[in-house]
Amino acid sequence: MSEYQVTIGIEIHCELKTKTKMFSGAPTSFGEVANTQTSVIDLGHPGCLPCVNKEAVRLAIKACGGLHCTIDPLVKFDRKNYYYSDLPKGFQITQQFHPIGKDGYVTIQTEDGPRQIRVERIHMEEDTAKQFHKETGTYIDFNRAGTPLVEIVSRPDMHSAAEAAAYVEALRRILFYLNVSDVKMEEGSMRCDVNISISNDPEKLGTKVEIKNLNSIANVQKAVQAEIERQTALLEAGEPIEQATRRFDEPTKATVLMRKKEGTVDYKYFPEPNIFPIQLDQSWIDSILNSLEELPEARMARFQKDFGLSEYDSSVLVNDRDMADFYEEVMKTAREAKKAANWVIVEMAAWLNKNNLSFAKNPASAADLASLVNLIDEGTISGKQGKEVFEDVMKGRKPEEVIKEKGMQQVSDDSTLIAMINQVLDENPKSIEDFKNGKKRAVGFLMGQVMKASKGQANPKKANGLLVQELSKR
């Protein structure tokens, strides 16, 4: 496969996080009863004029800022004309000729280090309705019609399935961190179309094949890899690749033909006559760009610098903004950054997953988890006891109360521990003899007896040191 040049470009439609639609006052609530979130404007009734949603423009500017795009302060809209049952007006209002942003980039992580994927353009438009195909016919829900979108078009800068997935993930994180969109691919608020071509001539692109409506990062990678393998097999068999639109079939892990393309569709674009060009005030644009939220890359760098975390731990935390927010709250009082990160990334994430919860609905207090980490670190309780206390912390309880209630206070006093150790040694003379004969496992056995005698409350680290000290005196 290495002799073939794989070229990948991606188009992403992302719903903007507004309360109302792009050109009307209808709500954008997801999951409502079909055809209850509509307006005569979105349904294309005669005589109804569109009015541009200012908040949608603000969010589009934020997206441009996060993707390092040049912003066009003159907002113009165009009509894209085509007839389809999910397009009530018979045309879509979009920005074909004057996108709000262009010439940006997204940085992705690859096996060879970070790499920039160029963004050709970002433009605003309205969404279509949604169709449901059933045995009794096709049904249309117009709730989605008119929802504000940005379409983000990359340059063909990706060359593998892994790079395509990394690009979509990086883009998703940026838009989520900027509060531009909730980017829930499973709900359709972020939809992905991938264009792939394969050529055995590095100077020429192959025939472009489009894969439509990929609904998860994992499926982006699987679909692209499947299509690369399909096209490679055709080339090696001497068969032509036809320009077409395909979809990814999850059960078979293969791409399936939807329709063949003979050429470019003529949408007969022309300027939208009912929306005059809007000149944005530069000071308004600047105020938006100057107040952007911290981006994922910057947060990762800060976590490594301020908390001394590894790149991996920082990446895991930053991948989930709510997890990263919680960790920062924990670190306001926790003393050990790495240990706190482990509790958040491993124990807490597993508990939430097991209980079908997210960090946004985390029942535990950050201050209480920080207290638990500190209590373990200072030896008040052992790590094993900490896991038991953690279960109660995740139910909203304070670790100090749980420790007191369960009598878990760890014994760290030297004189108390030495008394326990000597009692154990007196009861196990054979183990003392084994230790003197070089049998190191004797220490492990004796430590077990000390922990048993203390009902698990002896400070293991301190007890082990004192045990070896007392053994050497015998």
For position 263, what pLDDT does the model report?
64
Residues 435 and 456 in one domain: yes
From 405, 434, 450, the end of a domain falls on: 405
* Cα(379)–Cα(381) distance, integer angstroms: 5
Alpha-carbon distance values, 237 to 196, 230, 231, 234, 395 (Å): 19, 11, 10, 5, 61
Of 367, 318, 384, the C-alpha closest to 309 is 318
Which tops the pLDDT comparison, 260 or 373?
A: 373
CB 16 within 8 A of CB 180: yes
* Token pair in block for residue 442: 């004797």
Name the domain boundary from 223, 250, 284: 284
d(CA 12, CA 119): 11
Closest CA to 195 of 176, 234, 167: 167
Nearby residues of 142 by Cβ (< 8 Å), 6 or more positions away: 34, 35, 38, 42, 43, 88, 129
Dist. CA 154–CA 11, nearest whole Å? 6
For residues 275 and 315, membership in a common domain is answered with no
Q: Is residue 43 part of a domain?
A: yes
Looking at residues 90-98, what average pLDDT do you find? 96
Tokens encoding 366: 């950050």
Can you tell me which residue has the tokens 């100077």? 203
Instruction: Indicate whether 422 and 374 sit together in one domain.
Output: no
SS3 282: helix
For residue 378, give Cα distances in angstroms to 27, 306, 365, 373, 450. Answer: 53, 22, 20, 9, 20
Averaged pLDDT, 455-459: 76
What per-residue confidence (pLDDT) applies to 306? 95
* Same-domain pairing of 253 and 202: yes
Position 378 in a domain: yes
| Domains held by the chain: number | 3
Between CA 28 and CA 120 the distance in angstroms is 28
Provide the token pair at 226: 């499947």
What average pLDDT does range 272-293 have in this prediction?
97
Is the same domain home to 399 and 316?
yes
Give domain status of residue 15, yes or no: yes
How confident is the model over 108-136, as pLDDT tens digits?
988 888 899 999 999 999 999 999 989 99
When the pLDDT of each residue in the chain is averaged and rounded to a whole number, the result is 91
Residues of the chain with pLDDT > 70, as a percent, come to 98
User: Looking at the domain assignment, is residue 379 inside a domain?
Assistant: yes
In a domain, 82, yes or no: yes
Average pLDDT over residues 414-432: 86
Cα gap 200→238, rounded to integer Å: 12
* CATH number where 461 lies: 1.10.10.410
Contact 253, 221 (CB under 8 A): no
Task: Classify the phi-psi angles of 91: left when phi > 0, otherwise alpha if psi is within -120 to 50, otherwise beta.
Answer: beta
Residues 459 and 373 in one domain: no
Is it the case that residue 98 has pLDDT exceeding 50?
yes
pTM of the model: 0.81
Nearest to 243 by CA among 266, 211, 268, 201: 211
Within a domain: 291: no
pLDDT of residue 71: 98
> Long-range contact list for 93-99, CB < 8 A, 24+ apart?
93/22, 93/23, 93/50, 93/125, 93/126, 93/272, 93/275, 94/123, 94/124, 94/125, 94/126, 94/151, 95/123, 95/124, 95/125, 96/123, 96/267, 96/269, 97/269, 97/271, 98/72, 98/74, 99/72, 99/123
Is a pLDDT exceeding 60 seen at residue 2?
Answer: no
The pLDDT of residue 1: 42
Q: Would you say residue 457 has pLDDT above 90?
A: no
- Supply 449's token pair: 């007896």
| The predicted structure's pLDDT at residue 262 | 62
Helix, strand or coil for residue 286? helix
**Domain for residue 289, yes or no?**
no
Look up the domain containing 426 and give its range: 414-473
Check residue 407 and give its pLDDT: 75
What is the three-class DSSP state of 160? coil
Confidence of residue 378 (pLDDT cuts 50, 70, 90): confident
Specify if 426 maps to a domain.
yes
Which pLDDT tens digit goes with each residue over 40-82? 999 999 999 999 999 999 999 999 999 999 999 999 999 999 9
Same domain, 222 and 121: yes
